[in-house]
Chains A and B, each alone.
Chain A
Amino acid sequence: MKKLVAEGISKRYGERWILRDVSLELHEREIVCLLGVSGAGKTTLFNILSGLLLPEQGKVWLQGEDITGQAGHISYMLQKDLLLPYRRVLDNVALPLILRGEGKKNARARAAEHFEEFGLAGTEKCYPGELSGGMRQRAALLRTYLSSQGVALLDEPFSALDTITKGEMHRWYLDVMGRIDLSTLFITHDIDEALLLSDRIYVITGQPGQITDELCIAEPRPRGQEFLLTERFLAYKRQILGLLKLSKQQ
């Protein structure tokens, strides 16, 4: 089933077009990656999908419902965790529920149910400043999960982490995704990360940004780090590098 569909999205700031005719779809429990160089309008596209920006043309559909330009349906997560430093972790995570009008007690109880699953048990009463970078990103992902109706947009969520933590986060993320009901659209400029995590990859290039290619990664999930050393992985990577280079020459 299609969770999220974007259809013919175009956006400009003043005279400059940022995105032209971008269409994509996200199926149930899928991890889809939006891969492209910086400046291709990926973040603008996310702001449109989450309803913060209104596109000049195009529509966004969430489970068949038109949500173009409406905030509050789909939340996102950035490389900055954006946890509120003055709230305890539990209250941070419960915040989207509270914003939606749920009682504090209920919201806390519902948020607390997921702490174990997200590897956050025992951190409920801590302030975000007391957690490690990886922990904070987990808390931010849990908050995103609770705030969205099964769809999460992740904008380079792991790019601020060091290599080792990043590898751990990838493993953990694939593990969690196997257990929870979440469809993810994922921005990255890291080809390895895209290949490791996603079921499909959209390649977005150019200025204005356009989706130039779509690749299916027909490999079973979760994929371990050893996948990064296989021939198949290299073949995919060669293909993507070719696509990115090709688009530069045009």
Chain B
Amino acid sequence: MTKKLQSITNKLAPAALIAAILLIWQLVSSAGLVPKFMLPSPTDVAAAFAGDFSALMGHLGTTLYEAFFGLALGVGLSFVVAFLMDRFSFLYKSVYPLLVITQTIPAIAIAPLLVLWMGYDIAPKVTLVVIVCFFPVTVGLLDGFRTADPDTVNLLRSMGAGRWQIFRHIKLPSSMGHFFAGLRVAVAYSVVGAVIAEWLGGYNGLGVYMIRVKKSYAYDKMFAVIFLISIISLVLMKGVSLLQKRVMPWNKTQKKG
């Protein structure tokens, strides 16, 4: 009973904090402390969201399409690269530092180049998403492969397992925890990546829409888009958690033993 109570309190605390922030924001805005066009109140944002709902959903479709397309390609590429890097240690040694260095280049800095090279269509958006998703997933997989227990690897070798069988039966399944941690980050990145690429030019998508409403000084609509992006990211991250529960059913039984 106390445990249940505790879990309710745990959920209640952040909700209360968010409510408090919204309330203060509303008060500041309606008291006129900040000009309304600069900081629209939460109710204005909600109204803009409702008013623009169908347009938002249309643009969301485009953005999600780019994000998922890029995410799928990025994750696929991660598996291939991580597998090769694990298989050939010289690849691991030479490529790993490079991976880390590329990670220090901000996505927003390469986005204009991609648009320059690939035009206003979907290609630069998907490419940027691939780039931002690739790193967390690849590193997650590589770290995961390394957690494979050497005693278990030896045991399987004594049973006559080959390299591929060891990968398939030990390394891959032991990496799933790390993989999903990386994927959770990657889904959030994928939406943001797509939006950033859309800022720089395109015909459709939440980023394009954002630039459009910004230019017309419709900041309430701008906030509505930001709100939508963060909701979508949260939903996707939750989706990854659910997927993880499906793929790793042994996790919830582990504690009992």
A residues adjacent to B (C-beta < 8 A) = 47, 50-52, 71-76, 78, 80, 82, 84-87, 95-96, 99-100, 126-132, 147
Contacts and interface: CB of A to CB of B under 8 A. Distances in A.
Contacts of A100: 159-160
Nearest to B158: A50
Nearest to A97: B159
Contacts of A132: 257
A132 B149 CA distance: 21
A76 B155 contact: yes
Interface stretch (B19-27, B70-78, B247-255): B247-255
Contact of A129 (B158, B161, B256): B256
Interface stretch (B101-109, B168-176, B198-206, B228-236): B168-176
Nearest to B166: A99
B154 interface: yes
Given A86-B176, A129-B257, A75 B250 contact: no
Contacts of A74: 158
13 contacts: A47-B154, A71-B158, A76-B158, A78-B151, A85-B250, A86-B174, A99-B159, A99-B165, A100-B160, A129-B255, A129-B256, A129-B257, A130-B256
A151 to B, nearest CB: 12
Contact of B160 (A78, A85, A99, A129): A99
A127 B250 contact: yes
A51 B154 CA distance: 10
B220 to A, nearest CB: 49
A52 B158 contact: yes
Given A84-B173, A87-B173, A129-B250, 12 more contacts: A52-B154, A71-B159, A75-B155, A75-B159, A82-B152, A86-B174, A99-B156, A99-B159, A100-B160, A127-B253, A130-B253, A131-B257
Nearest to A80: B151
Contact of A82 (B149, B165, B169, B176): B149
Most buried by A among B149, B160, B173: B160
B87 interface: no
A129 B253 contact: yes
B159 A96 contact: yes
Q: Shortest 5 CB-CB distances between A and B: which pairs?
A: A72-B160, A129-B257, A129-B254, A50-B158, A127-B250
Given A82-B149, A84-B152, A95 B254 contact: no
B165 A72 contact: no
A86 B159 CA distance: 19
Given A129-B253, A130-B253, A130-B257, A82 B159 contact: no
Nearest to B255: A129
A86 B254 CA distance: 9
B157 interface: yes
A122 to B, nearest CB: 15
A82 B150 CA distance: 10
A72 B151 contact: no
Interface string B214-257: 00000000000000000000000000000000001110011111
B161 A99 contact: yes
Interface string B10-21: 000000000000
A81 to B, nearest CB: 10
Interface string B173-189: 11010000000000000
B254 A85 contact: yes
